[in-house]
Structure 1
Amino acid sequence: MAIDSMIVNNQKTYVVTPNLDHIVKLEQDPDFVRCYDQAGLVLADGNPLVWASKVLGTPLKALVTGSDLFPSLCRHAANRGFRLFFLGGLEGVAQKAADELKKKFPGLNVVGVYSPPFGFDKNQQENRKIVEMINAVKPHILFVGVGAPKQEKWMYNNIAQLDINVALGIGASFDFEAGSIKRAPKVFRQVGMEWFWRFANEPKRLFRRYFVESTPFIPIIYNQLKETKREVK
């Protein structure tokens, strides 16, 4: 496992998991691009990216969703004795996730949990407190679940001063593990329809993201395909 190797070799880096929404944001936000450029590992989180990679002739090996990677890494961490820190979620959610994961994986060592207030990333005093809180317990893995692009920008801006090995942006994964948001049944995930399940359960919140903000994804891929064909010629 690449992340295990990062820890064993005492690296300091962060992992991003792009989905359709990220691709659109990357076209519009140069700061977000810089976050991706410095990431130690990029894992595709979303079937549209896998499909697009095939269309472009550069098929990705696998889909690795943040929501699957999070519990998988927790299981691995419990076996390896890695220290974990959970940053994000609404008040009490990350702690609930930690409690549930400890039941699943005996020996899981969650050394810190903190749900930051809204706007923490713009508050120097609060941000300094968070960094000190994390460094005091020196986790091997820091999970950051505050949504994109905030979590990626926070990792990029703070990685140099964090005493960790690997940070990962995991979106709503704390909510899934805590049970505050129900994840799609496996059959939906297997056919690439997890997004539809989430929309059906949170239509007001997700309508704009899925049906307005994400629509540029198709022309982005189309233009990339044209560029690829032009280069071949």
Structure 2
Amino acid sequence: MKVNITGVQIDKYSFEEVVKIIVDYAIIGSSPKYVVTPNAQHILTLQEDIKFQEIYNNAFLVVPDGVSLLWAAQFLQKPLKGRVNGTDLFEKLCEVAASKGLKVFLLGGRPGASEKAAEVFQARYPNLKVVGTYCPSYGFESNAAELALINAKIIDAAPHILFVGLGAPKQEKWIHANYQQLNVPISVGIGVSFELVSGMVQRAPLWMQKHGLEWLFRLIVEPKRLWQRYIVGNPLFMWLVLKQKLGLSKF
């Protein structure tokens, strides 16, 4: 079951269902697959980026990271089952991986973020098998030697789940270009989650998370980096949803 939000097909699963689907596949994993976690920014990028659309069309799961997608689905009278926040998904999958003996690899983030996130989770879940962390050099996507090194590290580590924190749409494009060669059962793009878990970037208080205000907190904490995404992007997203509601678009 999927919900169409401005032409993007979002899977209608609860957080718990998504975790189970990913873990079950990571254990069986007959062929490599990947998961995307859209928010309003993704939706806007998808309106014009043909390659990004292709990546979404071939994803194993498309799960709603942004609370704006829940609001949009409700407004369109096609409600989703709940938010699948990327950072929460990262933590829960690591928790379950520890209990199931699954291996994980952390790629991306700011220098030191993936290593610190791994330390945090290994302290929390002592049985967690983190088989590798790596922070690519700036501009790695244009560096053949760095790309080959990244792939070699992941292939040698042979994780069941690969977490990629490179920001959108870079992380999704990198995953799509490499996931078949890497042969990791499940790859998941999780944005800034390494920084949030490691404490490099402060996460919103729980009450703001529960009330869908995490975006506002992030805007306050990092205004220079995020003002365009939220101040400009959110109204544009709302306009697309309104057009869909009124039948003024082809979605």
User: Secondary structure at the residue paired with 2:194?
Assistant: helix
Question: How big is each residue's C-alpha offset from its partner over 1:34-59, in whole Å with a ceiling of 9 and x where there is no partner?
Answer: 11111101110111100111111221
For 2:49 and 2:188, the matched residues in 1 are separated by 20
Q: Which runs of 5+ in 1 are unaligned?
A: none
The correspondence of residues 154-193 of structure 1 with structure 2, limited to 5 A, is 154-193=174-213
Q: How many correspondences in the alignment?
A: 231
Alignment of 1:2 onto 2:21: yes
TM-align CA RMSD: 1.6
Aligned to 2:147: 127
**Which residue identity is paired with 2:74?**
K
Aligned to 2:7: none
The correspondence of residues 52-201 of structure 1 with structure 2, limited to 5 A, is 52-201=72-221
**Which residue identity is paired with 2:186?**
V
Q: What TM-score, normalized by structure 1, do the two folds share?
A: 0.95
For 2:180 and 2:242, the matched residues in 1 are separated by 37
User: Secondary structure at the residue paired with 2:235?
Assistant: coil
8 A contact 1:24–1:214 mirrored in 2: no
Aligned to 1:37: 57
For 1:22 and 1:229, the matched residues in 2 are separated by 18
> Percent of pairs identical after alignment?
42
8 A contact 2:40–2:233 mirrored in 1: no
Q: Which runs of 5+ in 2 are unaligned?
A: 1-19
**Which residue identity is paired with 1:170?**
I
How far residue 230 of structure 1 moved from its aligned partner, in angstroms, is 9.4
Q: What TM-score, normalized by structure 2, do the two folds share?
A: 0.88
Question: How big is each residue's C-alpha offset from its partner over 1:76-106, in whole Å with a ceiling of 9 and x where there is no partner?
Answer: 0000011110000122111011011100111
Question: How big is each residue's C-alpha offset from its partner over 1:185-229, in whole Å with a ceiling of 9 and x where there is no partner?
Answer: 100001000001111111121111111244320221122223399
C-alpha distance 57-124 of structure 1, shift in aligned 2 (>3 A): same
For 1:204 and 1:164, the matched residues in 2 are separated by 36
